[in-house]
Every structure is written in structure tokens, then in C-alpha cells.
Structure 1
Amino acid sequence: MHDKSISTSERLFASECVSAGRRLDGRSLTDPRHVSVTLGPSWGFAEVAFDNTLVIASTSVDATAPSSERPNEGVLTVVADLSPTSSEAAARESLARSGHTPVVTEIRNCIDKFVREARAIDTEALCILAGVKVWAVRVEVDIINDDGNCVDACVMAVMSSLMHARRPDVTVTGKEVRVHSLDEREPVPLPVHHVPLSVSFALFGAGKPYEPDMVVMDPVKKEEIASGGSLSFAFNAQGEVCGVYKAGGLPLQPESFVQCSELGEKRALKLTAILNKALADSSAKHPRASLRPMLVTPEPVAQVRSRHTRKKDEVMSEAAPLSMWNATPIEDTLPPPPSATDRDPVKVHAVEGVDSAIASLLQGRKEVDEIVQVEEHVEMEMEPEREDGPKPTEIIEISDSSSSDDDLESAIISKGKGSGGRR
């Protein structure tokens, strides 16, 4: 954010004040300005003021056809514009019609990085019917007065507008989508996952190892012009880093970078509290105050006691019997440990009609093997020899009708008297 709206003397004076530990408006180097957020009266309208820096944002939601590349995702569009009356540089750019100023370009880059890339809104939840209708969310940001740190003011205005905005309710029947008016049904909040808020710093100093870095939080316009660069962090209500953006060529030491991140996290939590209060006040003053206010910080979730501190009946009543795995805990499905009595041999009494080998099988494998060996030996002894035993006779019937009884008797051949041939 560099322009020539201040003279060289003013630039040097601002740098000397920072070197002495003072600010042009009397603040210390790490003191922020007063922030106010006003929401309403219409859904999605937000006005954010960082003292003299004033930004307004409005959100509109329309049902439209999805793109062919992402048929199941909605559209989020953020447009930032700098009013010609916001600053002298903006007035000159407007008269020259030279297009967008560097301020607008940097603001758009920060909003795209902190809001879109951080997935502040679930675009898949904006889908009404895949391939047919999705919600198109458009946020328009106007900078009314630029007195420095427009990045933080614009990001906070965008998130305030998205949190306060509502979309119409819909009814889907087959492939037909009916959008209800706000008077017919209560509007629905937008699917906001988390609320990243930006905290910016202005960098001063020569950037040399032997010279300490001088960092200024929430700079005004003249301090931004006199600085050698800027550094912006985005934190959500859980203290997570959602994005980092650095502009300018002035280097920064790692220790100063860590210090800026710690200060930015604390500042982001205070901005979150301010936004929460504004949302609650707007919900109470709205004509439809019965609607539940959309808060930034999630409501506390009921803590579940450990399984070891609860009874078995309580655990089984809370478990959803969707399947046998969910209905029965793993500990309950394990078999009980074997007792000392289970290792004792089983005593089998003699039962009439039960083979002795089967009964001995239950007493031990060793006894079964011995019985099998004994039975095999007995069978081998009782088996008769085929050579000494009687030989079977073979009877051949002669089908000739002219044969007599003598011929039939002569046809009986005994294998014991001779060879196995036939006569």
C-alpha cells in the first residue's frame, strides 16, 4: 500500500515516531484501534469501523445453475471496491480511470486467501440439487473511508456479512426445486465452517541483522505509506492459523515473526468477541427475534464420561444398535479367561453300547493311539490266509438247449483240483 499522498517530511516524521516508540495518534506500537460492528437492518448487511476506516459489506444469495466442472458445489464471489472519496489516491485513480489501485488488489488477494482458500464456507453445502440448482453467494465490499488497515476491516466486514446473511428455504420434489419467499418460511443461515479474522502489522527498520525490527499493529494510513512492508495473519475462534500474507520487500527476523503471530492470535480472539456481541444484539433487535442467533464460537458440547467410570447398563443404553459391532462393546465379546477346573481331564463313565475306543478318546490322545495299535494287531491276527482257506467255486451255465444233465455236471469246475483253466 504505497502512494504519494504524503510528503517526504511526513514520511520521515512517522518513521522517527515509530523509532522512538510512539505513534502519530498517541498509541503504543502494539495498541489497536477501537472497532465497532453494526449489522442490519436487512439480512447480510454489515458496517465495520476501525476508528476512521469505514467499510460496508452486503451479501446476496440467489439460486442458479452450477458449473459443468463442479456440478455439486455452490459459488462464492467476493468483490471489493474503493470509493473515490475514500482517499486522495483513490480520487486520483478514479479521475485518471487507470483501473484498480494497488490497495484494491492487495485487499482482494487477502480476502481470497483468508476466506476462500481457508474454506470459511462449505461450498458443497450450498448445493440444492446436484447438476440442477446451487446457491450463488455474492459479497460486495465498499471502502467508504481509507484511514489505514483496510485489509482487517474488509475481512471482518465480509465475515460479519456472511454470518448475518440468510438464504431462502427450498423444497425439492424429484428434479423440481421450489424456492420459498422469506415471508412464507423462515430463512436459513449460510453454512459457515469457521470465521477467520485478519490482524495486520506494518514493518519498519532497515532489515539488517544488527538492527532490531520495529513492528506496528493496526497502522493508520500515513504509517502504512512510511513503512517498508506489511504482514497479515488470519486466525479463527479456535486460535488456528488460516492464512499468512506478506507484502513489501522488507525482511523480517524469525523472532519478530513469532512475536507478531502471538500478538495476532490474541487480537483475533478479541475481534471474535466483538463480532459475537454484534450478532447477538442484531438477533435480539430483529423483527424475527425467534430465530436462533448465529454465533462465531461453537456451543459447548456435553462431555462424555469415560467408559470405566460408567456402568454397563448406561453404556449399552447410549450405544446405537446399528450393527452388532456398535451394539456390543469389544470388551464384552471377549471369552472369559480359562479357570483352573477347565484344565482338569474329563472323567467319562462307561456307557453301554459305546465303543471303548471313542470313550478313551475323550480321556487322552495317548490312550487312543494305544487302543488303535492294539486293534490293528488283533485284526492282523484274526485275518485268515487266502492260500490255505477254501477256494470259491465258479459255476458256468451252458446255454445250449441240447445239453444234458451230465454235461451240466461236467461244467462245474473246482479251482482246488487243478489250474484255473476252463474245460
Structure 2
Amino acid sequence: MMLGLAVAVVPMQVGARALAFARSAMFGFYLWLFGVILVGTSYLNNGGPGGGNAEMVDLFLIGLGLVIAGLLLISTSVATTVLASRRAGMTLIETPIFSWSALVASVSMLLTLPVVAGAIIYVAVDHAYERATFGATEGVNAWIGWAFTTPQIFIVAIPTLGVLAQIVATMTRGKQPLRAGLLVGVGLMSTAVIGAVTQSSHTVSFSGSASDVLKSLIPYLFFNHLPILGVFVVLGLSLLALKNERAKLNAAFVPAFLGVGMVLTGMIGGAIFKITNLKLANTVFEEAVLVYVCYGAVLSGIGAVAYFGPRIWGREIPSAPVLGLGLLGFLATVLASLPYFIAGFADQPASIANNFDYSGPIWLWNSLVGAGHALMALVVLLFFAVATKSFRSGTISSATSADLFESVNG
């Protein structure tokens, strides 16, 4: 979703005549779409990691490969547009903050997704023939599962910072103090790439001597807390900009701000998950981290469409539905995630649907999580309906292209 917005918005922000490698980006979209269909089909027919149908597991790997190929093509197009297609006189430092975040996210994907693609090739060949070296069906998740968990998923959420900062810049009439700090904050979040490409989980244990704790604490802080620091920097500078007495609230700010908050909550949860003394491994705690980050990105996407949409289609989305659905999406995210944070500490195992027991109210946590997922699906559908109606027959927008930029000098 964020890459799709970048494809539409980045050329306008940097003053490019068109998206770089536009046909390649379109081809990437169709690869991604076809891959998603194959992955969904495989899951519906007992495929996917650990699936019981070998042919559907093969289909899953093929579909996932197509998804990654599509994302790589789109990322290349977005990154090239920012780097090489800016209008005359615009330096990279002067690039609008959303375009900067899109560049950072695209480059991060270009660094990490080829690693995933390589692992998929090895696993697919092994699964189709010997099924010994990489653990057959059960080994699929062991070798490529890192691509769907922390810290790799943080990369997907990088543009959420750009969306929030861009909306705040409009609310403050383009004035953004310490704008360079925003660029640094977005860049800090991309340090998650280092842990992702090495496929290493940097944990910390507070047992043993002080020297032993220090040996694990330093890499733990570097790989797990630097991305969190980046989010705090962007949030802090955005709130500082809102101290401007002329700041005017934009409805899109609510879902964008709440989305970044949910992403931050997931990232903090990811750091807590890496503390081995808490014994959270193989529990549903990690699932909650994933949901917080992904649903936070969805919330931010709602804010992004509400903000950028009128500048693309020329018609406004009413403020009331954006505010209401933003708050409802926030509630859905909390319901779908927080209970599993609690259940994780109560040792509810991951990847097991039944025949387990633990020290907590199983029915309560699972029911709340299910309700949260259902509510988020409803929020997405309602927003799609509202946006579609508004962009077809809504009020003509008064937004100008100047709203897509912020003051470089603050």
C-alpha cells in the first residue's frame, strides 16, 4: 500500500515528468498481484509453511517469489525517481520528507528482499526434490520466516514516518523546525536492515556476570533500539512543530499519528521479545508484534490516502469518516494485538490452534483478538467505500501542489 502511494506521490513531490521505469513498475505490480493470488490459493488448499499438501507448498514458494520480484521492481522505480528524476535545483536533502521515507524504504527493500529470494530458491529446489537439506515442509518457515517478522517488518513501516511528518508540515503551513532531524530519524529506522540481511536475532540475557550481560547488551541495543530511536525522533519533532500557534488540525493526522504509535508499540514489543529472561520465544507474543506493526501501517495508509488522495484525484474525503475510522482502526489494532501480549507472558504457544493449556483465560484472549481482526477488516472495507465515493463525487478539493512540500529552512 505504501509503495503504491509512493508511485503516485513521489513524482509530483520531486517534480519529475513521470515515474522512472514506469513500465517496469507496472509489471512489478502485476507480478505482485499474481503472486498474492498464488499465495492465497496455496493457503486455502493446505499449503504455505508447514502445509500438508506438497504441491500447494511449491505453489506458495512460487507465489512468494513473484511477490518479491514485483516489490523489487517497484522499489527500484521509486528509488530511481527520487535519486535521478528530481527537478532542477532540488538537492537530495531538499527532497520532501515523504519522498525521503519512500527512498529509504525502497533502498532497504532492495538490500533485503534479494536475500529472501535467494533463500526461497534454495528451499524450493530442496522441497521439489530431496526434501532433506532444508527440512522439507517444516523447514520452509525456519529458512524464510525471518522475512515476515522483526526486524524485517519494520522496513515496511518506514513510510509511516514520512506520512506523519508530511501531514504535520501542511498543518504548520510548511514550517518544520529541525527538518534535518526528520531525515536522520527516518534513516535510523532503516538500521533494521542490518539485522534483517544477516538473518540474526540479537537477544540479551540479564543472567550471569556483568561482562556477559554487557557482551549481549551492546549488540542488542544497536540492532533493536536504534530503529525505535528513529521513530521517537520523528514523533518528537512532529509534535514540536505542532506548537506553532497557527497549526490547523487535518483529519488525516489522526490515523497517521495513531498508526505511527501502533508501529512504535510493536517495535518496543519486538525489543522486549528479544530479552531471553522473559521466555517469550515460541509464544503468541511475536504474533502481536507483527500485528501491531502491520495494522499500524494500515492506519497510516488510511491517513495517507485521506491526505494525498485529494491532491491526486482532486476531490476531498469528508473529515468525519476519516476521524471515526481512524479511531475505530486504533481500537481494532489494540484488540487484535494487546491480548496476545498478555497471553505471551502467560505462555500461550504460537502456531497451535487447539489442544494446549496455559495459565490464562484462553477463550477471552483469543475472542478479543478475533474481534479485533474482524473490526479491522470492517474498517478497511468502510474506508475503501468512503474513499471511492468521495473521489468520484465528493467536494472539489482546494489543495494545491504546494501542500506536498515543507520548508527546507524551517
Query: Do the two structures share a fold, i.e. TM-score over 0.5?
Result: no
| Range class of TM-score, shorter chain | under 0.3
Higher RCO structure (Cα 8 Å, ≥6 apart): 2
Q: Which has the higher helix share?
A: 2
Q: TM-score, normalised by structure 1?
A: 0.23
Q: Which has the higher strand share?
A: 1
Q: TM-score, normalised by structure 2?
A: 0.23
